[in-house]
Amino acid sequence: MPQINEIVYSDLPLNLTSHPITGNIKMLSNADAVKQSVKNLVLTNFFERPYDAFKGGDILAQLFENMDPLTEYNLTKNVEQVLKNHEPRVTVDDIKTRVIEDQNAINMEIIFQVINIPEQLTVTVLLERVR
């Protein structure tokens, strides 16, 4: 499969950092743009977006559940489903969840491939209680 050499996917960074010399907002391109999109979809809860109530991974809602194998299964299935439905540029290879019990946190690692980019990409999401 040929690798893309030109900018096909582009997006603005969420923190809107500017270029130090030009002062323009730096654009994310190709793999970085898709990584940001995957992370945004995963961290979106249900009913967070108007007119599209079930768009998102809803994993923050699972943070306060008792962590058992069923909850971990629900987490991975929610993430797989949201990426399958709303991110056609990726194919998910694996999702690894690890519970960090002493910090009341969940570490989720999403391994996927982008169309026309041969290497595997990884997005790591750490979910933890704020209070």
pTM for the structure as a whole: 0.81
Residue 83: CATH number of its domain: 3.10.450.40
pLDDT score for 3 = 60
Strands 105-114 and 10-11: unpaired
Report if residue 92 sits inside a domain: yes
Residue-wise DSSP of 75-107: HHHHHHHHHHHH-TTEEEEEEEEEEEGGGTEEE
Give the number of domains in the chain.
1
Report if residue 102 sits inside a domain: yes
Report if residue 11 sits inside a domain: no
pLDDT score for 4 = 58
Report if residue 91 sits inside a domain: yes
- Of 5, 25, 30, nearest to 13 by C-alpha is 25
Report if residue 57 sits inside a domain: yes
Q: Are the C-beta atoms of residues 105 and 130 closer than 8 Å to each other?
A: no
Domain that holds residue 51: 25-128
**Residues 80-130: pLDDT tens digits?**
999 999 999 999 999 998 888 777 788 899 999 998 888 899 999 988 776
Q: Are the C-beta atoms of residues 22 and 39 closer than 8 Å to each other?
A: no
- Of 6, 1, 2, nearest to 29 by C-alpha is 6
3-state helix, strand, coil in the chain (%, to 5): 30, 25, 45
Angle between helices 69-86 and 31-43 (to 10 degrees): 130
Report if residue 31 sits inside a domain: yes
pLDDT for residue 1 is more than 60:
no
**Residues 17-65: pLDDT tens digits?**
887 888 888 888 888 888 988 998 888 888 887 887 778 887 877 777 7
pLDDT score for 101 = 76
pLDDT for residue 15 is more than 90:
no
